Amino acid sequence: MPLANDLAAIPGLIDAVENKGSIDDRKLLLEHALVFMSNLPPDNPIRQKGQGAVISMLYNDLPHPPASFIGDQYRFRAPDGGGNNIEEPDLGRAGTPYSRSVPQVHPLPLNELPDAGLLFDCLLKREKFEPHPAGLSSMFFAFATIVIHTIFRTNHKDVAINETSSYLDLSPLYGNSQKDQDEIRRWDGTGRLWDDVFSEDRLLLMPPAACTILVLFNRNHNFVARKLYLINEAGTFKDPDTLTEEQKRAQDHVLFNTARLINVGFFISVILGDYLRTGLGLIKEASDFALEPFMDVPQSSDTHLARGQGNSVSVEFNILYHWHSALSKTDEKWTQDIFHRIFGDKKPEDITIEEFTRKAYEATRTEEDKKKWTFGGLERQDGRFKDEDLARVLQDATAEAAGAFKARGTPAVLRVIEIMGIAASRRWGVCSLNEFRKFLGLKPYDSFTEWNPDPEIATAAMRLYKHPDNLELYVGLQAEQSKPAVDGSNLCCGFTIGRAILSDAICLTRGDRYLTTDWTANNLTSWGFDDASRDPTNPSFGGMIGKFADREDILKVIQDNVDFQTLYGKKIQTMAGDRSGFFLAFNKPEDHVLKQTIHETLISPSGTYFQDYFYNTTKAVLQELDFTLASHKQKCLDIVEVFSTVVARFVSEEIGGLSLKSQDNPNGTHTEHDIKSMIENIYSYVFVDTEAQHVFRLAKEAKASCESLLGEIKHSYQAANGLGSLLERISGLFYKRHEASYAFMRRLHKTGKQSEQIITAVLAAIVASFEYVPVLVKIVYFYLDPKNAEHYTRLVKLSTNNESYAPATIQGYVREALRLDPLFASTRRSVVKDITIGSSEFKSGSLVQLDTAHANLDKNAFPDPYQINPSRPANSYTLMGDGLHKCFGDDFVQSTMASALRAVFELKNIRRAPGQSGVLRGFKDPQDPTSEFCFLNSHSVITPFPTSLTLQYDV
């Protein structure tokens, strides 16, 4: 608009150009424009276009129709989900028909489609269980079960009707009608639900984790309602005992529905922040990124992407969520037991749809009072389930691997359910798979092998459907090739499912008025709005951790076992139970007594025996495990495997009397790899801060490994000392004896301590010993670094001569490597009571992080601290870690390590292998000086144990 002649309008024009969408109205641009137009003739085209532009701008300032209304009728969710779209209140309401997203244009005549049972047997029936490739647990799919049952509940008499709402309103907890809500509400003026109740009866026939999660949402609702009542932001809530019945119901109405808004909001935050991020693999990234469907998305200067306009789930997306192939082994067994309880010994292929519908309905109608419902064998105590029972269910589900999405992945027991799904999809007249893919903007499949490259699956589908265009949506989705486990794809479902569920997630959330235009602090209260909103900056840990870096103060803390205790005690108790003797926590006086006992019976009598043992064993294993290159001029070896084998033999032959398989002992119980795996399980669980998603599984593995090793140590202890039953003593004659470990066991027996305590202490010593592996590997790697070439040359020279000073100097090199490149850069302690160390005050219950890596660079203790100097006094090295050094003592550990290193550096021209094979493949946070150098093991679990490092040497 040519306003340049009006000089007063120029500042406003400039501001409008520079700050589009945030105009400074103090510059009066609109007013100048109106005056300018008023001075133009009525038929002037500029005046007419200008008026149109202004009217369009002003009209579009407001939503049409209004996005929201005032009053409880619009503030709170209706029990049946109605009214989400104010103009179309029945959109998405429970009890209304499913919608259709894609018309079926390509004909799929029912009389020409393959038999549903035959389809199941050929393409869907599980042949063998295959764990989920990304490691998703049964717990993930238990939560998915709640999400799916929130929006889908098909009426079996009229499959066109969806009996639940089309919104993620947590209907499995709250129900789909006022009657459902009345059955679970107290109506006592507090807004609370009855303890541990929920509305969804279908979940009672499913594995118990889903019901357990619903119980937690029930408890969260009651927590929120109680909090709302106590905070009482508006000052309107009163003691229910002082209210009339009418007033009590009115107060309960507000508290219940406000708590429901907040609880559903929390449910959505879990879906977006945990469930969806896990499915996309975003939890593995160091990023707070998540899809935010609620954000304002401008599409032009005056229009925005619609939101809060309601939703209606479609039959195509109902089919999308039949994820039966993800059923874990344990959940499959659970389902088989349920079917056996309902149908007796009837085979899955003999159960009809009519029989299933009738008997499943009867099975969920055994108890009308929802306050008495039970599941998973759990029993109520005063109306509530025991916390430990719920925790056990969740722990088991988290530890249990889910199944992989795949053709022939659905358990046979679910045959009738899959047939019902296929039958319903045909009655709905849904589109074909290719039509659905076109609808999503995806390339249709031209061949069955493109759909699923497995020739057996593709051939079976081709025989049944003849052409890819005939492939039904239900079967096509379930048996489609799955996505690989890559960044951005952690769910590893079929390609079409993976794309479609993202669209569904966005539509379900962005279309919900209560999550968008009515997601306000006024509706949820200020506290509730904050409680239910996802905080992307929230740290992984809730506690405050103080950081300690001063060397002298760290020494005081580490040496003070009364006021500062390690964090290992609880983990040890979880793993080993009430057994005493696992002394590595070093929190109790008896821990130190047992450590001293081990030292006096194993190390003190040994002289230089163990130094020779480590040298000779390492040398022998190096020869056993090397392999020759084609030129026959060089050999290679995996130094991780070498040291793992050396230490496995050490703990088996010299400490625990463990039975190793070998050519001389083919009947042995374990290989060196078995021993390594079991001890790694225990060590990682006790000493390593494992990622939360792996903790339950690792705890289970550690406990099993602990039980196995304790049993074998007990056998050796009894055999060495002539204990146990006659049968046990006779059976012991058939096992190869390790005389060194038996002698050690006899010395332990003579101490007079309880046998259980001794056996557990031996296991503790074995676990501590395996710290040798990562430490020795890191030391070798450290001195093979080209920047340490000078010291490498000297180490080689020291290792190949017999000078008396050589062992001591090599020990100096061990200490320097441990100081400059420690296995653990820090350690933590729990404060037992209020205490002051130096200038720092610590409160009881707080955590202290001890930056030992920084302390080992203290120039007062180590002049020129960044330089390698093997001649430094040995007594300067006082911060060598909690495990190995504390258990066996610095002198023993460093001298035996030096002996093992000597065997390695004797090899001619020992060096790292070329390329990635010669690189220690781990990771460390460069921005966190206290972070540890870690590795990913074969289970993709973070561990301090390296996995492989190839070295070369000349023949």
Q: At what angle are helices 890-905 and 639-650 packed, to 10 degrees?
A: 130
| Dihedral (Cα; 24, 30, 32, 36), 10-degree rounding | 150
Is residue 194 classed exposed, middle or buried when 0-12, 13-18 and 19+ CB atoms within 10 A define those classes?
Answer: middle
Q: How far is CA 936 from the centre of its chain?
A: 15
Kind and range of the H or E run holding 437 = helix 433-439
In sequence order, which residues have a C-beta less than 8 Å from that of residue 881 and are 6 or more positions away?
771, 822, 823, 824, 827, 852
Residue 65, preceding peptide bond in cis (omega within 30° of 0): yes
Closest C-alpha among 938, 472, 869 to residue 681: 938
Token digits for 381? 């105590």
Closest C-alpha among 206, 227, 221 to residue 330: 206
Active-site hit among 321, 685, 781, 813 = 321
DSSP three-state, residue 78: coil
Contact between 183 and 280 under an 8 Å Cβ cutoff? The reply is no
Q: What are phi and psi of 161, to 5 degrees?
A: -95, 130
Task: Give the residue carrying structure tokens 């039509």.
Answer: 435
| Dihedral (Cα; 881, 883, 886, 889), 10-degree rounding | -100
**CA distances from residue 439 to 105, 282, 478 in whole angstroms, order as listed:** 12, 27, 18
In sequence order, which residues have a C-beta less than 8 Å from that of residue 800 and are 6 or more positions away?
905, 906
Quickly list H helices, 599-671.
Answer: 609-625, 639-650
Contact between 865 and 857 under an 8 Å Cβ cutoff? The reply is yes
Beta strand extents in 819-904 (DSSP E only): 827-831, 835-837, 840-842, 847-850
Name the DSSP class of 783.
Answer: H
In sequence order, which residues have a C-beta less than 8 Å from that of residue 43 and are 6 or more positions away?
none
Please state, in angstroms and rounded to a whole number, the distance separating the CA atoms of residues 347 and 105.
38
DSSP three-state, residue 338: helix
742 in active site: no
Closest C-alpha among 291, 818, 827 to residue 508: 291
Active centre residues (catalytic): 321
